[in-house]
C-alpha cells in the first residue's frame, strides 16, 4: 500500500488551510486511487498552536456537510519537507515555504497554481469578514481542490505506469 501526504498551508491555520484540507479530504476520501492512501494535513506559517477554526469557517463547512469543529491550528513544522505535496494558499505563503525549506521546492505550489488556474494564484483571506466572504473563499477553494485532486490522481497513475 502506498501512502501520499499532502499539506495545505496558510497564515494562521484557522480559515483557508483547514477548509482546503477538509474539502480535499471530501474529494479524495481516504484514497486517491486503488492502493494509494492519502494523509491530508494543514498548518500555518504564523499559527498559534491549538486555536480552533474560525466560527464562520466551521459554519460554512457545516453547510457543505463537513465538520471542522474539532480542528486545532498547528504551525508549519520541520517535517514539512517530508510531505509529497505542499499547497499554499497564496504566492506569499509559497515564497515563505521555499525560503524555509528550499529542499522541498519541487513539491511546493500554490493551490490554484497546482490546479492549473489562470490569473492570480492567491486564495482570498476571509479572516475577520462575514459569512458570505467565507462562502466565496470556500467556493474558490472547492473548485481548486477538485482540479488539484484530479491532477494528483493523473500524475500518480502516470508515475505508477512509468510514463
* Active site positions, annotated: 10, 16, 125
C-beta separation of 18 from 51 below 8 A: no
Sheet with 31-33, edge to edge strand ranges: 31-33, 36-44, 2-10, 85-88, 108-110
Give 20's contacts (C-beta < 8 A, 6+ positions apart). 8, 10, 42, 87, 89, 111, 123, 141, 144, 145
Q: Which residue has the cell 490569473?
A: 119
Amino acid at each position: 500500500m502506498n501512502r501520499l501526504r499532502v499539506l495545505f498551508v496558510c497564515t494562521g491555520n484557522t480559515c483557508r488551510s483547514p477548509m482546503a484540507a477538509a474539502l480535499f479530504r471530501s474529494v479524495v476520501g481516504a484514497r486517491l486511487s486503488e492502493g494509494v492512501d492519502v494523509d491530508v494535513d494543514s498548518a500555518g506559517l504564523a499559527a498559534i498552536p491549538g486555536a480552533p477554526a474560525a466560527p464562520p469557517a466551521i459554519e460554512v463547512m457545516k453547510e457543505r456537510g463537513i465538520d471542522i469543529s474539532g480542528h486545532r491550528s498547528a504551525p508549519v513544522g520541520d517535517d514539512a519537507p517530508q510531505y509529497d505535496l505542499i499547497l499554499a494558499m497564496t504566492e506569499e505563503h509559497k515564497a515563505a515555504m521555499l525560503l524555509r525549506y528550499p529542499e522541498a521546492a519541487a513539491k511546493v505550489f500554490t493551490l490554484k497554481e497546482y490546479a492549473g488556474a489562470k490569473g492570480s494564484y492567491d486564495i482570498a483571506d476571509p479572516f475577520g469578514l462575514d459569512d458570505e466572504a467565507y462562502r466565496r473563499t470556500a467556493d474558490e477553494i472547492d473548485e481548486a481542490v477538485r482540479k488539484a485532486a484530479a491532477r494528483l490522481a493523473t500524475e500518480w497513475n502516470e508515475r505508477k505506469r512509468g510514463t
